[in-house]
Structure 1
Amino acid sequence: MEKLCYETLEKLGYDGYLLKEAPERVLQFGEGNFLRAFVDYFIDILNEKTGFNSKVVLCQPIAPGLADMINEQEGLYTLFLRGFENGQKVNAKRVISCVSRCLNPYKDYDAVLDCAKNPDLRYIACNTTEAGIAYDPSCQFTDVPADSYPGKLTQFLYRRFEIFGKEAGKGFVILSCELIDNNGKELEKCVLKYAEQWNLGEDFINWVKNENLFCSTLVDRIVTGYPRNEAAAICEELGYEDNLINTGEVFGLWVIEAPESLKKELPFEEAGLPVLICDDHKPYKQRKVRILNGAHTSFVLGAYLSGQDIVRDCMDDEVICGFMNKTIYDEIFPTLTLPKEELESFAASVTERFKNPFIDHALLSISLNSTAKWKARVLPSLKGYVEKTGTLPKCITASFAYYLAFYNGTTLTEDSLNAVRPAGDEYSVKDDKPVLQFFYDHRNDDAEALTHAVCTNVDFWDEDLTKIPGFEAAVAGYLKAIKEKGAYEVMKECLN
């Protein structure tokens, strides 16, 4: 079987969209599954629908990577977007042809820096993981390359400044996709710190600030990557060998905080893509964290104690799905600022995403680090609801009791606290060591004592949750009921 390349597709009579030649207008730090199923997919659609006419040159951010494999396939790969949309099962295939090549800065850093000479280059996209946007003072300007991503970016921007610094409009639109708050602004801060540390001069610092636009963005798509168990059968069906097959869910959303003028430069709207350019991405991030992530954290622990193992199966259970929907529509919605129609549309997409027949999303994997997750994803909704209504949100309060019941383990190991669910099977609670030690120390507490101990643990919540009127007593009541009647019965009662 021949490898995927333009010649192979020609021989097979492939009649889908392909862009063989175009200027490299996008430099992308990151060649992994996420960016190839997200940013590169959107650029590919832009090329087809609007004549954007751009290739993306990739830069491998860490030493081990996919550069050789990508170059062997001439930048081509097959992307499958799979899931549940408008009540229908979807499995959409597309050969992505916007990638020109992939550079390995650890073998040839000059090739990366040479991209700065390209007058057509206008956009820089990146996803170097949450740890990628960090200032490391040990990085030096003379490093080949700098170890940190912001260090590499500063080196690249300085090369661009040396070549085009006196010419307006030759800076970059930088689209940061890392999963941290204000990712674009944090990246800019790191670059400016390096500019100062490396004494690159006031002219360069002013050029960075005035000629470059660091955009904070929100990215939302589950990317499941290379389908190892299905790859051989898929290649057989495709008629070519593709070592870079990528898979992701159908749903995608990219919110870019940028001036209105960027809409003309990047005509995502014209292409019908789910990319929103707006003056503030935070309400959309809040919506995602509280509805999508908050829903997960609110129901999965109770669902697991009720005997479920996979998210999709929970959506087929009217009690569990009803509990989730009540949490979202009745208790989270009132705490958010976006228009109701936008919230309802997003919430409907969440249910369809959770039903995805191609993703077996294990409840136990979502349970990882539930303490920090409950604080970030659910606590703001609890406080917002109480502030707005003067009453406790029933399902969110019960979800805290599910968290306590789930963490009520009896055996502490090096990396987990082992517990047993009502069905009799053992499971491992995974969290930070001090959290696991705390729950182990309180393993014999009754409902009231355990609730009080957890609620007053300021290290967990940065505040004393007993100060929320009625919360401690309500949680203790739910925790007792979970132990006496079972998690599922308590969910049922929450719906009445």
Structure 2
Amino acid sequence: MTSAPRLSSLAGINEGVTLPGYDPSAHGAGIVHLGMGAFHRAHQAVYTDAALASGGGYWRIIGVSLRSRTAVDQVAPQNGLFTVLERSSAGTSARIIGSIADVVGGEGAAAQALSQMTRPQTRIVTMTVTEKAYGIDRETGGAEVSHPAVAGDLAHPDAPKGVLGLLVAALRVRREQGTPPFTVLCCDNLPENGALLRGGVIDFARRIDGPLADWIAETVPFPSCMVDRITPAATESTLKDAIRATGFADRAAIETEPFTQWVIEDRFADGRPDWEAGGAVFVDDVRPYELMKLRMLNGAHSMLAYAGHLAGHVHVRDVMTDPDLSLLVERQMCAAQATLPVVEAVDLDMYRADLLDRFRNTAIAHATVQIAMDGTQKLPQRIFAPALDAMRAGQDLGPYAFATAAWMCFVVRHKNSAEAVLRDPMADVLRDSLSSAQSAPEIVAALSAIKGVVPQGLSQDKGWRNAVTARLGRMLTDGIRAAITAEIEIG
């Protein structure tokens, strides 16, 4: 099995594997993508593969990994080819993707990225760098000057290494050269991600070059979009199954679920691929779809990740076999659904049922600890924003209070873990905040006081504090199982 030749061409692939419906070498690169993780390979790269097969065009992708060479070592030796394994209870199917033209990463990656972004042929820059990488102050909507990448790039704007700095530097070069701007398409789970990124980029630019900031504001589109496809981290099993399916060793292979969704605001500066061929939907306003996904899917994911991990469940599918916890997962979705506006052409009850089925998919090993990462970045839009809306509407805050207490208990349990389970950009802040907090009320007060996490409208509300404190106290004193049982009894 391990002696199989390395995937590097489409020749000799086993029968039954879906191949690109086009000649990859016949298409140039018009997209630069920042963040070459598994999700991009399972999502945007697949949509672009379908677009190239449908409409052709100069739309292959130059991938950039700003933090490591892992993606380069995985994908580049394979001439950009990789395997997507779609797993369901009915079985696994395999597909080779050819939409990636090249990958750069590791030392010098930022300079190479800047070079690619300033090419006239680059018409779209997309990104999946995770919420923590942007360096945007959520309270002001501008650049977070204390963020290490932002601070470094403001000090050295001609040699940027972070997302905001790279975008501004590339746009500055294009403006100076008379090259039309590219479209900036954020594909991370951020509220109104296009507008949020636009605010960060323009504020960063204004701190170094006012006329450039004005030019960006006037000419550069930042469409928002909503993305959805559950994509667990690849394992040795993933790589072995890729060999069995294709006949070739594929170090870039990823696994994912059959479901995929991409809703995009149709605002582009200089054309776009035929992403509709892969099922993408173009709309005037993505916000209703974004709220639906962030609150119902991501919110339930976060709740079950913290409570499930504390209860000893390794994967989402394990949580869904726990009768009590699975009831709380659906309760969380129902609570979130009650805060949503009407979503055009979407039956929210059916959407909820589909989400529960996706969570139950026994073929997907999505680790609860993976979902639990970066809680301070994820919970504001997944849990706290809908909780605030629910409070204003007089709706039940119990589901959100339980989710919040589970996160706080997770932080307390793992603040000094040698296994580094607490993976969060604010991990040190979380630990410092808890240095003198012992009781549940002290812990709730300490974690709620961290800037930019729990909104004041919640943290200063007595009813909310009491609801979270009671649940956290039960988790700390009686254990998560007793807390789950009590929550079921509350209803």
- TM-score, structure 2 normalization: 0.75
Distance 1:214 1:233 in 2: 38
Give 1:257 deviation, angstroms: 3.6
Distance 1:309 1:115, change over 3 A: closer
1:75-474 to 2 correspondences below 5 Å: 75-83=80-88, 88-103=89-104, 106=107, 115=116, 119-134=120-135, 136-139=150-153, 145-165=159-179, 170-192=180-202, 195-196=205-206, 199=209, 202=211, 204-232=212-240, 234-259=242-267, 265-269=272-276, 271-273=277-279, 275-299=280-304, 308-329=313-334, 331-339=335-343, 341-363=346-368, 366=371, 376-388=381-393, 390=394, 392-393=396-397, 395-396=399-400, 414-415=416-417, 432-437=430-435, 439=437, 441-442=438-439, 450=440, 454=444, 459=449, 461=454, 462=456, 467=461, 472=466
Aligned AA (1:278) = V
Higher mean alpha-carbon deviation, 343-352 vs 140-149, is at 140-149
Give 1:253 deviation, angstroms: 2.8
Across the two proteins, how many residue pairs are aligned to each other? 462
Pairwise CA RMSD? 4.5
1:44-63 to 2 correspondences below 5 Å: 44-52=49-57, 54-62=59-67
- Give 1:4's match in structure 2, choosing from 2, 7, 15: 7
The one-character-per-residue Cα deviations of 1:267-320 (angstroms, maximum 9, x if unpaired) are 433x251x3433433333332232123223445555566665542123234433
Distance 1:120 1:41 in 2: 21
Q: Where does residue 138 of structure 2 map in the other structure? A: none
Q: Classify the secondary structure of the residue corresponding to 2:95.
A: strand
Distance 2:108 2:446 in 1: 53
Higher Cα Rg, which structure: 1
Aligned AA (2:183) = V
Give 1:43 deviation, angstroms: 0.5
Distance 1:370 1:197, change over 3 A: closer
Give 1:76 deviation, angstroms: 1.1
Distance 1:371 1:69, change over 3 A: closer
Residue 4 of structure 1 contacts residue 241 of structure 1 at CA under 8 Å; is this kept in 2? yes
Distance 2:185 2:449 in 1: 35
Distance 2:111 2:369 in 1: 45
Distance 1:108 1:233, change over 3 A: closer
Q: Classify the secondary structure of the residue corresponding to 2:342.
A: coil
Residue 455 of structure 1 contacts residue 466 of structure 1 at CA under 8 Å; is this kept in 2? no
Distance 1:15 1:232 in 2: 18
Q: Classify the secondary structure of the residue corresponding to 2:222.
A: strand
Distance 1:437 1:359, change over 3 A: farther
Q: Where does residue 146 of structure 2 map in the other structure? A: none
Structure 1 gap segments, 5+ residues each: 418-426, 443-449
Distance 2:364 2:316 in 1: 9
Distance 1:435 1:138 in 2: 26
Highest RCO, 1 vs 2 (Cα 8 Å, sep ≥ 6): 2
The one-character-per-residue Cα deviations of 1:8-51 (angstroms, maximum 9, x if unpaired) are 44798977224321132222233332322221111001112344
Distance 2:14 2:482 in 1: 61
The one-character-per-residue Cα deviations of 1:247-273 (angstroms, maximum 9, x if unpaired) are 2333333333444x789844433x251
Distance 1:397 1:108 in 2: 42
Distance 2:291 2:163 in 1: 27
Aligned AA (1:58) = G
- TM-score, structure 1 normalization: 0.74
The one-character-per-residue Cα deviations of 1:132-176 (angstroms, maximum 9, x if unpaired) are 3236354379877422233333333333334444xxxx3212112
Aligned AA (2:53) = E
Distance 1:459 1:238, change over 3 A: same
Higher mean alpha-carbon deviation, 242-251 vs 454-463, is at 454-463
Q: Where does residue 490 of structure 1 map in the other structure? A: 486
Distance 1:216 1:139 in 2: 25
Q: Classify the secondary structure of the residue corresponding to 1:348.
A: helix
Distance 1:81 1:50 in 2: 24
Q: Classify the secondary structure of the residue corresponding to 1:320.
A: helix
Distance 1:9 1:213 in 2: 42
Q: Classify the secondary structure of the residue corresponding to 2:236.
A: coil
Distance 1:452 1:116 in 2: 48
Aligned AA (1:33) = A
Structure 2 gap segments, 5+ residues each: 136-142, 144-149
Distance 2:370 2:294 in 1: 17
Distance 2:206 2:447 in 1: 41
Give 1:97 deviation, angstroms: 0.7
Q: Where does residue 70 of structure 1 map in the other structure? A: 75
Distance 1:473 1:15 in 2: 52
Aligned AA (1:253) = Q
The one-character-per-residue Cα deviations of 1:107-147 (angstroms, maximum 9, x if unpaired) are 58886566567554321112334343236354379877422
Q: Classify the secondary structure of the residue corresponding to 1:242.
A: coil
Residue 117 of structure 2 contacts residue 125 of structure 2 at CA under 8 Å; is this kept in 1? no
Distance 1:478 1:24, change over 3 A: closer
Aligned AA (1:158) = R
Q: Where does residue 423 of structure 1 map in the other structure? A: none
Distance 1:483 1:98, change over 3 A: closer
Distance 2:409 2:169 in 1: 51
Residue 185 of structure 2 contacts residue 224 of structure 2 at CA under 8 Å; is this kept in 1? yes
Distance 1:376 1:187 in 2: 15
